[in-house]
Structure 1
């Protein structure tokens, strides 16, 4: 069994954005020769998070719209005395910062429509995701 750690960068394109990171993660799993185990994906930021859901464009718009209505900017947040992004921090607290995903035969073992999604709440920015794979690799007997 091996433990392999690395990171990937993800660029977001709007103040609120959702980016499907399955392709980047799958490429990394192939590069390290992952076979079977568990992948932990952790977002290193307090205004962006991770979820697993369907990547259909209408649903992504619905998620952004609902988060914006639940936690609107400029609603008298105490943190805005320091920085005007309290709503972004609160949204990220609702989304979460990490996901554990099973890996089987070198692939993310997800349901038919499930994808790992970076949820940007204070962009556009370049975001860093930490990847930790624990399991067996192709070079092991």
Structure 2
């Protein structure tokens, strides 16, 4: 079986946002998959996807704080500045974090660890809505 769905995320504040439930809700075909792989591709270059702890909200805060310190907005050697001081740092962070995830599917569910969740990282101060392309491949439950 194959299923592909574009997932629309609303404009979100800079930082990390848990989107596991949004992904599951957008993919009713997931329940028909006995075994497979879900590939998520973010259709943007200044945001990211990551798999990380989904319980303690301090994790997303700390990740964002670390990345802001690692790639601050005031680096004088950046040349790509036409779209604002947050744009090039956002591209760097997206490249470091990655813009896609591949997740196992088992018995109609994402095969995530106990504390794992899908996080969307918004690295711009005002970015607008974002799009994810979800592609599910696997064997159906029938």
TM-score if structure 1 supplies the norm length? 0.89
CA distance in 2, matches of 1:87, 1:129: 21
- The number of aligned residues is 135
- What is the CA distance between 1:34 and its match in structure 2? 2.8
CA distance in 2, matches of 1:6, 1:108: 16
CA distance in 1, matches of 2:35, 2:5: 17
1:44-63 alignment runs, 5 A limit: 44-55=43-54, 56-63=56-63
| RMSD after superposition | 1.4
- What is the CA distance between 1:11 and its match in structure 2? 2.0
Q: Deviations for 1:61-115, whole angstroms, at most 9, x for unmatched residues?
A: 00000000000002121111x3221111111111101000000011110111111
Alignment partner for residue 110 of structure 1, among 94, 109, 112?
Answer: 112
Change (3 A) 1:89 1:13: same
- Alignment partner, residue 140 of structure 2: 137
- Alignment partner, residue 102 of structure 2: 100
8 Å CA contact 1:35–1:136 kept in 2: the answer is: yes
Q: Which runs of 4+ in 1 moved over 3 A?
A: none
- Alignment partner, residue 28 of structure 1: 26
SS state at 1:91 partner: helix
1:121-136 alignment runs, 5 A limit: 121-122=123-124, 123-136=126-139
8 Å CA contact 1:34–1:136 kept in 2: the answer is: yes
8 Å CA contact 1:11–1:124 kept in 2: the answer is: no
